[in-house]
Every structure is written in C-alpha cells, then in structure tokens.
Amino acid sequence: MATLIALGSTVAAFPAAAAEIIASKPKLVHHVFFWLKNPGSQADRGKLIAGLRLLRGIPVIRKLEIGIPAPTERRDVVDASYDVSELMFFDNAADQKIYQDHPIHQHFVTSCADLWDKVVVYDMAIVPE
C-alpha cells in the first residue's frame, strides 16, 4: 500500500494552495483573429507568431495559446479565412485592461501592426458551470 507522510507545515499548505487555485480561476477569454496584408505569406505569419510569443512576458495573462486555422471540416459556418489567432485567459476585465496598456503589448502593436489588414476581437465572460 502506498503511504504518504507529511511533516511540518506542508499539510496545512496544501488546502490553502488548492483554495487559491479555485478562487483565481480565469473568468475572461480574449480571442483575437488576424488577417494578414499578405495572406498566405509564411514569412509574415512567422513574424506575427514571433511577436505574439513575446506577449507571454505579461504577468496578468493566465494562459496564452497561438494558433492557425485547423484542418477541420469546411462548413458554411466555419470561418477559416484568418491567418493567425491568439487566445488568452485573464482573471477578469481589469486584468485584460492592464494587458491592453502593458508596454510589451504596446510594443507588439507598434512593431507588428504593419503585418495585418484586419483584426477581430471577441471578449467572453465565462459563465459559472
């Protein structure tokens, strides 16, 4: 039988940490779609993805995934015309605003804005399960 023995302050620390994780579950999704000025340009797509990766330096971002159109079934409702996408989770709208104004994000916009022709943003408040 497996046995786990904890000594000192460790036992007390576990429930506290778990409670913190539950309490701070991100409640806001920020999903951005980019259409390049040169659609299909692998070079420009690579530059944009490289720029987006730098956003990971912004502490209020709880999760960041970068993507491209997936090889799913082409249906009328599916918009696969974008070139690059970023999906972020924040704790709340205030943190999203902090991200928006953060120097790293501002630098991303000024250094990469020439690459895209169109941007569409969806901000989604997660409803409780």
Residues near a copy of itself (CB under 8 A) are: 1-10, 13, 28-31, 33, 49, 53, 65-73, 75, 77-80, 82, 85, 87, 93, 96-97, 100, 119-127, 129
CB nearer to a copy of itself: pick between 65 and 111: 65
- Backbone dihedral region of 40: left (phi > 0), alpha (psi from -120 to 50 degrees) or beta? left
- Please tell me the distance from the alpha carbon of residue 81 to that of residue 83, in angstroms, as a whole number: 7
Task: In angstroms, give the least distance from the CB of 27 to a copy of itself.
Answer: 8
- Please tell me the distance from the alpha carbon of residue 103 to that of residue 18, in angstroms, as a whole number: 32
CB nearer to a copy of itself: pick between 57 and 123: 123
Cα–Cα separations (whole angstroms), residue 18 to 12, 22, 41, 54: 11, 6, 45, 29
Task: In angstroms, give the least distance from the CB of 22 to a copy of itself.
Answer: 15
Task: In angstroms, give the least distance from the CB of 19 to a copy of itself.
Answer: 18
Task: In angstroms, give the least distance from the CB of 38 to a copy of itself.
Answer: 19
Cα dihedral 98, 104, 58, 87, rounded to 10, equals: 90
CB nearer to a copy of itself: pick between 13 and 19: 13
